[in-house]
Amino acid sequence: MNTFVIADPARCIGCRTCEVACVLAHSTGGVAALSAAHFIPRLTVVRTARVSAPVQCHQCEDAPCAAVCSTNAITFTSNSVQVNQERCVGCKSCMIACPYGAMDIVTTERVERTGSGVNERAVRVKKVEAQKCDLCITDPTGPNCIRVCPTKALRVVDQKSADASMRRRKEHAAEESAAMTN
């Protein structure tokens, strides 16, 4: 089972702290490098009249985004779905295929070196690429959004926690059945 992060809408207050933590976790320049143009979180807090909750990748077992990726840039790695930016061509097929709206297409800017010797120069290159929650896979402490949520509305779901949840639901169902027969 792939690991994923899930939100409890009853606890979420829509503060967007998780979005800020996500951006900082993936920022190379820290807080000083943040700007409106570079504020691109890998989850999105959605607020309606009835609910607020972050929407992010569910790390699907049979990921529709991976199935439609023509360059095989989207793969299963370490119990999650990851995007290899070197292979991504920004075609947007994954964005359309995602049933949760968790895949974003963003424009990034990189500095590339061209030429050699005295003719070498740095050139800014823009690239369109797919971006989604990567579970902060390079951070040994796990997803930053979970750690900073002031109401503890976010949690990781893995095989162990899913099994425990199912066991509790079955026990509850058995007790409800017993109560109905008495």
State residue 100's pLDDT score. 95
Give the residue, 179 or 100, on which the prediction is more confident.
100
Compute CA distances 10 → 13, 53, 66, 150, 161, whole Å: 8, 9, 31, 13, 19
Mean pLDDT, rounded, of the chain? 92
Strands of the chain (E only): list them. 4-7, 44-47, 52-55, 74-77, 80-83, 104-114, 121-131, 154-157
Residue 110's closest CA among 121, 98, 124? 124
Specify the pairing of strand 154-157 against strand 80-83: unpaired
How far does Cα 41 stand from its chain's mean position? 8
Q: 75-100, pLDDT tens digit by residue?
A: 998 889 999 999 999 999 999 999 99
Buried b (16+ CB within 10 A) or exposed e, 140-178: eeebbbbebbeeebbbebeeeeeeeeeeeeeeeeeeeee
pLDDT of residue 28: 76
State the pTM of this model.
Answer: 0.83
pLDDT over 90 percentage in the chain: 69
Least confident of 27-36, 100-109, 115-124, 167-176: 27-36
| pLDDT higher than 90, residue 112 | no
Residue 69 pLDDT level (bands cut at 50, 70, 90) = very high
Does the pLDDT at position 52 exceed 90? yes
Any bridge partners for residue 45, and if so which?
54
